Structure 1
Amino acid sequence: MDSHMRRMFVMNRIRVPDFHLDDRHNSDDSTNTGTKTVKFTHTWSIEDFSVVFERDNKWKSCVFPVDQSNKLKWYLELTVNDKEFRGREYLTLTLNLVEWDDSTEKTIVRCSIMSHVETEQRRTFTMSEQPIVNFNAFIYCCELFDKTNNYLPNDKLSIFCEILLLTDTVCTCSRTQTINVPDFKISESFGKLFNNPKFSDVKIVTKGMEIYAHKNILAARSPVFEAMFSSATEENQRGVVTIDDMDPEVQIEMLRFIYTDHAPNLEMMASDLLAASEKYFFEKLKAMCEKSLVATLSIENAAETLVLADLYNANQLKARTIDFIKVNMDNVRRTEGWRYMSQNHLAVIQANF
């Protein structure tokens, strides 16, 4: 794999859910630094927008805030851009300074379509240097008039504007009395129960090998075990669960993950553990397997990995593998894995290439 491909796959990392860091740092005193702010908000609504859009190409709000005693004044202006930026017509929004009393410089402004945070744009500026703040391509017209976005309820365009004036910076110091909490990892405690006959109420049997387990722990970690032990199944009544579709060492590693949230031998059996995680709905274990398999992705195993990802619904692994194959298509097509996939999993090729 060349350096470009390595950079690409480092940047596109597999996301492993449910990861926490322990905070072990204590401090006897603290400093809190904050900024005094003054906030203005203004909502500008344009009724019958689809009608006025056909008639005009520029609109202005009233000057705000309306309080006469306030020496800071702005107005909003909305303009239809006729140059079709990137091939799509859009609206430009500007915030225009009308009056200023020289008392405040740094300002933050946020503008969005009312109740649609995904449209929010933010600018930080200095009023003496930038009396007009430009939100270029504030909203594309095709998106604005798409009814599925609901940007124009009852044909009304409402723009919300929030202005934060940054004034003084304030620091406060204090001394705190900290409580030292001993480091405790629940996985270590649960790990002591792994394959421990004490308090065990179920055995996992895999090709003649028996492992002591606990129904409540298995049920808490897997909805498959939860369903099994919530009804009068043979496994629940006998206290024996027979699993013959995986090797004993894979079964041990899966159960170790159930009790400790770790799989120290994962890299040696990532493919088998991926199958187990799909069967028993271990989302974190699945992501860990996907991450391991991406790290070993190569020309020779790419097609095999794609079949594996498709078979076990490993969507993150599948996406990374497809990207890898597309970049290295000529070489991957010459491998035995590609020939096998063409003969036995043609639908995977047809759906993705």
Structure 2
Amino acid sequence: MELLVPTVSDIVFKYSWSIQNYKKTVAKNSLIDSSSFDLNVNGIHSSWNLSIRFWKGPEGKRITNPVVLCLNMLNCSVEEVEQAKIRFQFAVYNANINHWEYCHVSRTILELKSTSDIISLGYRDLSIVDRHIKKTGEVMVMVKIQIIQCESERHSLSQDMAKLLKHPRAADTKLICAGMSNEEIPVHASVIAARSDVLADMIVPVVMENNGEMNYRYVLELPELSRDITEELLRYIYSDHVDNLDTLVSQLLSAAERYRLQGLKELCERNLIETLTPENVASLLLIADEFSCDALKRASLAYCEENAMSINKSFAWKIMEQVNPELFNEVCEAGMGSSRSSNIDDSELT
């Protein structure tokens, strides 16, 4: 176990698991568990392990590739029950280029309490192929874990503002979203206007109406946004937090750019940078260019340079070459190899 970021509040741990004679181990064992490892941070004492489990095919036969890599908390000891955010990321070692291949970052919220019950925090399908197997037959997998305690956030401005969104008795604005559904959310004009000058200009006065429940002085129409996206956008506007960034990041990035919410845009960029893989780097470069995400673009170009040998010329590269040749040439110059062609037939674009 290795301490990566020695900060006071957010400490990231790294645990690497070496699986010897991987092919034979997987073939002979239906349950594979790593040794346990301990995390002790800010009064939280816990033990963890990694495990490999297997899916079954339609005929009930065990599938050995991909495997299911699981993160488990074996036990926990705390003085008082408290809520915490758990952030983790799996990786598998590429033995051909001596580089870790990272999976997407996962997040969950867990009520931490003293227990000896095993809790599975999450899993990821993981394909183990020849490039991951060393000449000795060994395979290396790894997990990064971050426990973020929520106690310090209680009674903070962001927490109290989030409560204001949940209890909108003083709301003076009717936000209408979700297209033809015309779903309504009560909000506060002063909060919205303070966070976005674009949204401020979209708030218009209405004739005072009394439906027996709520009086509105203003209306804000966002028909292009779904209810889910609108709720996450409001959560950020009121509290600087987003709960479902992993699943809604592309839509939220678009909204952040449209309504000039720079802080939300930076959150989205950081999230996308964490998900860079050989398969999606071309798509993320196109997103970075479309929304002027400088940090994401720099990270993606650096990723291309560092991982040139493992990046395949996918359909997204052909799209880039056709619709954004300047970006394509910039990537090639960053070290994507001597070939300046995506090597995909133009007919595939149809």
TM range (shorter): 0.3 to 0.5
Higher-strand-fraction structure: 2
TM-score (norm 1): 0.45
Instruction: Give the structure with higher Rg (CA).
Output: 1
TM-score (norm 2): 0.45
